[in-house]
A and B are shown apart, each in its own frame.
Chain A
Amino acid sequence: MAKMKPEELIKGLDYNPPSTSWMDLKADTSAGNWAYPGKPEIVKYLIGEGLPLANPREWVPSDEDWKLPPNWRDIIHQGFHERLEKYRSLKLFMDVCVRCGACADKCHYFIGSGDPKNMPVLRAELMRSIYRKDFTLAGKILTKLTGSRVMEEDVLKEWFIYFYQCTECRRCSLFCPYGIDTAEVTMMARELMHLVGLNINWILEPVANCNRTGNHLGIQPQAFKDIMDFMVDDIEEVTGVRVKAPLNEPGHEILFITPSGDAFADPGIFTFMGYLILFHYLDLDYTWSTYASEGGNFGLFTSSETMKKLNAKMYAEANRLGCKWILGGECGHMWRVINQYMDTMNGEIQGPQMTTPVNPITGTVFKNAAATKMVHITEFTADLIKHGKLKFDKSRNDHRRITFHDSCNPARGMGLLDEPREVIKACANHFFEMPSNTIREMTYCCAGGSGLNTDEIMDIRLRGGMPRGKALAHVQEKHDVNTLSCVCAIDRATLIPLSNYWAPGVQVSGVHELVGNALILEGEHERTMDLRQEPLKGFEDEV
């Protein structure tokens, strides 16, 4: 937890830049400003799996010597050149920024820290300054005057600090008149850093786990089954109904994949239970999988190669089990990958048995998923609700006064905005929106995605979470909101410390936890508690 109280943090904020030019300011590499580097054995394992990482070693970012390979300048230059040739986005975004400053106060890290290098424009300039020097004529001649500089170790260290302090949330891109997307720049910077061995363990260990065990937490299949059995027991305790939980079973129509964070801890497990209840209610012809037990794609934070390798498992497993289409759970960056990358990267490995998804209960054809064959759970549930296929007792969510947090990736990389709201409003009576400048496409990041969901960098996370936290505190005060719902597993992990700090008393919940609470199962006993085994309204004394 942060050393500072929220009031102190706010008092200390200064949005005015320092007098020193940013080029003359070194990055602060002291502990607390960075997440731990990747463990050498994990880097070695991933290199062995054919991924573009390098230079496994023990190193500490606060040390002077980062143990870079001797030819690191050439590697970075060559890697930069390659990526300029591979991505028009990078080339364009290096050239067309006019530094109008429209993005400056749109980044949650800038708002929470006041650090000018967190202004998206300047974050990208950290890379543009090298681009100009290395790849443009004017930059070669006029140097500092035109904002170009030579690649030095200090610049690389600055990249490490600031490009891991970007959550690729794309909020700046929404406001940029040319659509310059800092997420693209950040992704490229990270790819370059990986080539010389600058990486963080919070990303690489999950990548290694996803690759080998199927999920980022490294849960082995037998343990995954244990967890599911445990949840089935809990559901029986709450509802009196023993739900089906098919796992790794071939021959079903639908494969269901959700982020494994939901199998791991509060409050994700309640969302996991919500899925189980819904699918049991529908008697859905589906299966879970342990091999593809991770929806979240930590490759998005690493490199496009890693993203492709991890994503491919979804199709590989659908093919192996003979599933016709895939239903995807509540996850943020998983859906950006599915919407914008999946078919382009892995469409060719889709088996011939896969078809455009059709809701077996309502007959709705999901034409918007004709290529990927993947449907978002809130699209699926909203469709069921519209067709009157779900019977809810909304009062079972009456102890919750709910607001909704749009996760950056489904919001700005997909446009999934109304579907979750439709679901929440159908199964709960008290729903309140946060201020309009902080939701939907203008939503604020949870400050933990893309590589910061780790305790060693908690101060920075809490700062970055300030805009979201403030908006939450606003509805808490105004409408007595006590539940922040979301459709992302990283949110369910990161928003808890955030709300404890900025809006104490607000709980975090997935949307399908609310569905699971409200759904009236056939043969259930009278419910007196919710999936958290906390008393429902009116049953406070009985539990």
Chain B
Amino acid sequence: MTAMYSLVFVFLLVLIPLLGVGSAHLEFFFAVCVPTTAIIIFLAGFVYKIFKWTRSPVPFRIPTTGGQQQSLSWIKQNKWDNPSTGAQTFMRMLLEVFAFRSLFRNTKVQLNKETGVLGYASAKWLWLFAILFHYGFFIVAVRHMRLFTDPVPFFFTALEFGDGILQVGVPRLYLSDLLLVAGVSLLLVRRLWDARIRYISLFTDYFPLLLILGIALSGIYMRYFAKVDVVAIKAVTMGLVTFHYADLPFAQIGISFYVHVFLVSTLLVYFPFSKLMHLGGVFLSPTRNLPNDSRIKHHENPWNPAIKPHSYEAYEKDFGPAMHEAGLPVVDPANRGEEG
């Protein structure tokens, strides 16, 4: 049901620019005002969220130690899963962010009710889908930078060339488009297919997937089917980033462009206030981004409360005479039956 709500919601989002541009001819509003506002909200929201997180301290070092600690010289430390230095921790984060290493560990529990055997199977599907999706999305996003730069830096042209290397059809087919659509669809299917995942899924889990699918499909439609005027689009996007809005060729661009831009703008606005902020959060996770070194060096808790242990004096006050009688050393002479 929540998946249906999300789908309806995305359709409504598509309708807004269709009506706004198709009937009301608000090209300037949808091509300039909406994306500009969205970018501002995205940047400000992203910074605000990171700031909000970092304002809270990390009083204790709590890395999850996923392997052997730094110990005796002849015991091999697992440096990437149980780092004890900054450099090792950096490697751990690198692998986490670029290779989804923790997710790669994933297993599936299987219980055979007849034999009573509890088994574990490798379950790397989620890892694979997530990798497809994230890298697809990343390349697509970076590739779009050619629309916002003039001259286009070598890196972006090279990426674009590599991405279109298969040279299928005109315009050339981008591999990243396929990756993105496949990744997001597989993640969506998984979420709907697996009863357990469906059970924990909220509107806010389906919505971003469907929104991103909408963005990808609208982009593919405008590029491969509507074949919108890319030169005109580049003129508009360059106008956007240079703040020159006069005489932009809005009318030469098909309506699918406005749908695409509106959906992207929605994503940008939604991003900082949703679970999508895991993009920023993964860098801040205290179980991953800290070295396991709190036995080695001192770390300060900024709010360390002044709490004292129950004192030895109080302890001896309770048990002193009995301790003396049992032959245990006592400090207070009175407990030895002597005058103080």
Known A-B contacts A88-B57, A341-B60; A174 and B105 likewise in contact (beta carbons under 8 Å): yes
Docked-complex contact A222 and B322, CB < 8 angstroms: yes
Q: Could you tell me how many residues of chain B have their Cβ less than 8 Å away from some Cβ of chain A? A: 99
Mark B304-340 against chain A: 1 for CB-CB distance below 8 A, else 0: 1101111110010011001101111100000000000
Docked-complex contact B294 and A15, CB < 8 angstroms: no
Q: Name A92's contact: one of B197, B203, B285, B295 (CB within 8 Å).
A: B285
A residues near B304, Cβ cutoff 8 Å = 344-345
A residues near B152, Cβ cutoff 8 Å = none
CA of A90 to CA of B108, assembled, Å? 27
B residues near A111, Cβ cutoff 8 Å = 109, 111, 118
Q: Determine whether B234 belongs to the interface, using a CB cutoff of 8 Å to chain A.
A: no
Docked-complex contact A91 and B52, CB < 8 angstroms: yes
Q: Determine whether A17 belongs to the interface, using a CB cutoff of 8 Å to chain B.
A: yes
Docked-complex contact A179 and B118, CB < 8 angstroms: no
Q: Determine whether A26 belongs to the interface, using a CB cutoff of 8 Å to chain B.
A: no
Docked-complex contact A308 and B305, CB < 8 angstroms: yes
Docked-complex contact A95 and B71, CB < 8 angstroms: no
Docked-complex contact B325 and A222, CB < 8 angstroms: yes
Docked-complex contact B310 and A179, CB < 8 angstroms: no
Q: How far is the CB of B292 from chain A (nearest CB, A)?
A: 6
A residues near B273, Cβ cutoff 8 Å = 136-138
Known A-B contacts A138-B273, A179-B64; A101 and B197 likewise in contact (beta carbons under 8 Å): yes
Q: Determine whether A525 belongs to the interface, using a CB cutoff of 8 Å to chain B.
A: no
Q: Determine whether A102 belongs to the interface, using a CB cutoff of 8 Å to chain B.
A: yes
CA of A465 to CA of B23, assembled, Å? 65
Q: Determine whether A146 belongs to the interface, using a CB cutoff of 8 Å to chain B.
A: yes
Q: Determine whether A125 belongs to the interface, using a CB cutoff of 8 Å to chain B.
A: yes
List 5 tightest A-B contacts by C-beta distance, closest first.
Answer: A415-B69, A96-B281, A179-B287, A222-B326, A415-B65
Other A-B contacts than A90-B56, A179-B96, A415-B82, 10 sampled, CB-CB below 8 A, are A88-B58, A96-B282, A99-B202, A105-B109, A121-B200, A122-B200, A212-B315, A248-B323, A309-B307, A316-B311
| Cβ contacts A to B, 18 pairs, < 8 Å | A22-B199, A92-B284, A95-B53, A97-B275, A99-B275, A100-B103, A101-B194, A104-B197, A116-B196, A138-B274, A177-B100, A179-B285, A179-B286, A308-B307, A309-B309, A313-B309, A338-B295, A370-B297
B residues with CB within 8 A of A: 2, 5, 49, 52-62, 64-72, 74-76, 78, 81-82, 84, 96, 100, 102-103, 105-109, 111, 113, 116-118, 120, 126, 130, 194-205, 273-275, 277-278, 281-282, 284-288, 292, 294-301, 303-305, 307-312, 315, 318-319, 322-323, 325-329
A residues with CB within 8 A of B: 6-7, 10-11, 13, 15-17, 22, 49-50, 84-92, 95-102, 104-105, 111, 116, 119, 121-122, 125, 136-138, 142, 145-147, 170, 173-181, 184, 211-214, 220-222, 225-226, 247-250, 290-291, 304-305, 308-310, 312-313, 316-317, 320, 338-345, 347, 364, 367-372, 374, 379, 382-383, 386, 411-419, 422, 435, 437-438, 440-442, 466-467, 470-471
